[in-house]
Chain A
Amino acid sequence: MRNRLPGLVSRDGERKVRVMRGLELTLRQTALALVGLLFLFALPDIARLSPTIQLSVLHQGVVFGLAAVGLNLLVRHTQLVSFGHAAFFGTGAYTTALLAAKYNVTEFALLLIAGMLLATLMAMLIGYLSLRHTGLYFSLLTLAFGQLLYALVQGQAFFGSSDGLPVRPGPNMRPDIFGLALPPDAYEVLMYYLTVVLVVVSLLVMWRLINSPFGAALDAIGQDRTRAQFIGIPVRRYVWLAFVVSAVYGGMAGALYAMVQQHVRPGPVLYFLRSGDILFMAILGGYQTLLGPLVGGIVLVLLQDMGRDLTNYFDALTGLVLLALVFGFPQGIVGSLKKGGRVRNAASSFKDDPAVIGSWLSSFTESLVTAASRSVQNVKVLVFGVK
């Protein structure tokens, strides 16, 4: 009889941990996953160690990471790059804020579900209109719809225009969590743990999704639309579905953001630069991985926050990271740490023969010298022309 419950199983002589149907991890992966989980759950205590690290900032990172995980479904599998994902993040956030500020809805679960629902509807509409196009036109359309929402919210007093809306419903001035009116500290920590639980569940759902026939079909669509069409995949419908699913993640993240920040303004949740941030998080963490976008979210938000303490040119800091990423680690943080990734490869060759450092250094100097001589050549050609 097949074991249907989580537990230890043996596959091809290797012991694996069965998490759910189809998801079996090696012992090493299990250990890493547990460490990761433990780390997420311990963050509130870690944040208490130093005043420069704040739980609310880490929490924001996790929330944006969740949105990036959603966006990554599109980028990684269907190869569609959306520049307007803040629209769904913002829809989730603004739905929550409107219900809290104008209709005094206090329940966390209701606010969350409403945010996800509205984001879903918004994605069905925007997806329907923009998925008729691919490539650059798709990206530009999503950008346009995103900016349209931004302009609408910014211009309407009902949405609080540029001042935004508070998320402080009820006499307790914050949402109730399952009927409980909590003091601020308890609210912050409980909200964080709830977020972690939601993130873990969302990751499992995403894993299941991309390892299903549907996920495989998306990959096929990403590789070649026409071929996918010919083998009978309903391309339009599948891509539309993937778009909506990725927006649900954005909507959930937006609703959580609104309840964490307790104030929503158009700039931080709807502006097109926010869409860029979410995309950047996915790439920074490693968009060819499931966990990468989450890690990217935490790292980028933390970097932006700590950067402000270090220098007035904190925006340049993000640019530098982007440069380092593109030139040095195109697979992103998690991608580089994975088996076959740049860091893992380097570490293993270092373990085999520490003298490899010498050859790294020499190849680095060599490439510097080549680059320098090439630029000298270029200048020569520019000044004296080709002889």
Chain B
Amino acid sequence: MLKAVGGTALAAALAGCSSLIGAGTNQDTSGEVSDVPDEPIQAGLQTFTEGPAAVLGLQSQYGAELAVERINAAGGIAGREIQLDVKHEADAYVENYTQFVSEGKEVTFGPVSSGGHAALAPEVEAQGVVNVSTDGTVTTLYEETVPDPTYSFRFQNYDVMECVSAARETVNRLGAENVNTVAGINPNYAFGKDEWKVYTTALQKLTDVEIVYEGFPDLLADDMSTHITEINNQQPDVTFSSQWGGDVVTMMNQAAANNMFDNTQLVGTVLYSAVNDLSQDIVEQAQAFSGSRNYYWGEPEPSRWSPGQKMLDDARSKWDIIPSGHFMSGYGAVASWATATEKAVNLLGGWPSQEQIAMSLEGHGFFTPAGYHVMSERHQGLSTTYFGEMGWSGDVGAPVLNDINSYSPPDVSPPPGTKSIDWIESW
């Protein structure tokens, strides 16, 4: 049984440690904690609970539920348990948040959607109840939409991090001199276009690559063969894709049927989000390089890293899934808020206000089974990014990432005060 030294029982539980050495002596609570409400903490999560995007959304929900379960099992935050109310984000991001606030929720999590997050963040600033988004990873959010946030936070790494990681991964694996041509198949909406732009900008800085084709199939398109045919004609050294969920399955199945993988190397930021839906022969044909955002269950090696093993076991036994990066999005969003709030309680000796919780979250560091995370001063979570070669594991009965490379935040995200695209262009 793994024990944590230092920290609080809550922080230890969220880090995936079973107990705290010397727990029970309450040595961490320096001041007297008074003035804490008796009732449980009401929290709200909006995520995609149905429809095609539920492939990601349910993972976020399960992650958040696991974090809540662990917090409550560790006695809650200053004795207050969390009750999590989950709502389908549909197209009603702002309405969902407003409803959470009027129901008296003390904290809100989500959404998954980038566009939804851009709509929501200014409203969070106006209403002043802390929101830690699980995903909604659009790069421009804290650079342009809400440049000086107070109450709006985001746990998951943002798009620039996974795109720069993908560019570096491409060069690491293939060698800069072997990357002369690149093509893209990206979903036809803001996220897909942003990812393609950031990836190609970064790749052009690292190599002398030439763009030979760019295709933007609609979300949930059932035919991607025109793009695949074009790539077979061009035979680019690299094909980049930011497809996720069901679109990954469609693209990879059709690419395999048309022997696209003989002609190009597929690199994707979130291909692994389809982990529970890909079949063995496709994965083995593709040998794609995929990112997994800020969490990959197999890194570090679970047998050497028991918090990771425990999280994998929990996800498999409770929901029969391989947890993906989106699982960690939900888990980490809740964990960041809970640990920061507990810190504020201990500092203040009473229950903190929304503003105090927000201040406590800024620059806050904490552990999860994915490792160490920082919620930076600019309200953007910064964590290690994982990339690997997708293969099949008979033991797991699912795709795995082999030969993992990890990228630390300074390697793939701009220094404070710099816009992402300006930073890449300055290389």
User: Chain A interface (Cβ within 8 Å of chain B)?
Assistant: 51-52, 54, 56-57, 154-155, 157, 160-164, 166, 168, 173-174, 184, 261-263, 265, 267-268, 305, 308-309, 312-314
Contact = CB atoms under 8 A, between A and B. Distances in A.
Contact of B118 (A157, A164, A309): A164
Given A51-B103, A161-B190, A265 B95 contact: no
Given A161-B193, A162-B115, A262 B123 contact: yes
A54 B193 contact: no
Contact of B189 (A52, A162, A166): A162
Contacts of B104: 51
B21 interface: no
Interface string B40-83: 00000000011000000000000000000000000000000000
A102 to B, nearest CB: 13
A347 to B, nearest CB: 35
Nearest to B54: A312
A173 B152 CA distance: 15
A265 B115 CA distance: 8
B353 to A, nearest CB: 18
Nearest to B120: A263
A154 B218 CA distance: 11
Interface stretch (B86-94, B319-327, B412-420): B86-94
B119 interface: yes
A173 B91 contact: no
Contacts of B145: 166
A240 B193 CA distance: 39
Contacts of B138: 163
Nearest to B96: A308
A184 B92 CA distance: 19
B190 A163 contact: yes
Contact of A312 (B49, B92, B191, B193): B49
A168 B122 contact: yes
B189 A161 contact: yes
Q: Main SS of chain B's interface residues?
A: helix
27 contacts: A51-B99, A52-B99, A54-B98, A56-B95, A57-B95, A154-B189, A157-B193, A161-B193, A162-B115, A162-B191, A163-B115, A163-B190, A166-B118, A166-B122, A168-B122, A173-B126, A184-B126, A261-B119, A262-B94, A263-B122, A265-B91, A267-B91, A268-B91, A305-B95, A308-B88, A308-B92, A312-B88
A98 to B, nearest CB: 16
Contacts of A313: 50
| Closest 5 pairs (CB-CB, A-B) | A162-B189, A263-B119, A163-B190, A163-B115, A51-B103
A352 B403 CA distance: 83
Interface in B184-207: 188-191, 193
Contacts of A155: 188
Interface of B: 49-50, 87-88, 90-92, 94-95, 98-99, 102-104, 114-115, 118-119, 122-123, 125-127, 138, 145, 188-191, 193
B99 A54 contact: yes
A343 to B, nearest CB: 31
A52 B104 CA distance: 11
Given A54-B102, A154-B189, A263-B94, A184 B127 contact: yes
Contacts of A163: 114-115, 118, 138, 189-190
B87 A309 contact: yes
Contacts of B95: 54, 56-57, 305
Contacts of B122: 166, 168, 173, 262-263
Contact of B125 (A54, A154, A173): A173
Contact of B119 (A164, A184, A308, A309): A164
Contacts of A262: 94, 122-123
A21 B30 CA distance: 77
B91 A162 contact: no
A11 B189 CA distance: 62
A216 to B, nearest CB: 41
Contacts of A162: 115, 189-191
Contacts of B99: 51-52, 54
Contacts of A160: 190
B94 A261 contact: yes
Nearest to B141: A163
B119 A166 contact: yes
Contacts of A305: 92, 95
A278 to B, nearest CB: 16
Nearest to B190: A163
Contacts of B103: 51
Contact of A164 (B49, B87, B90, B115): B115
Contacts of B193: 157, 161
A268 B95 CA distance: 13
A56 B102 CA distance: 12
A184 B188 CA distance: 34
Contacts of A265: 91, 115, 119
Given A51-B99, A265-B119, A308-B87, 15 more contacts: A52-B99, A54-B99, A56-B98, A57-B95, A161-B189, A163-B115, A164-B115, A164-B119, A166-B118, A168-B122, A184-B126, A263-B118, A263-B122, A305-B92, A314-B88
Contacts of B50: 312-313
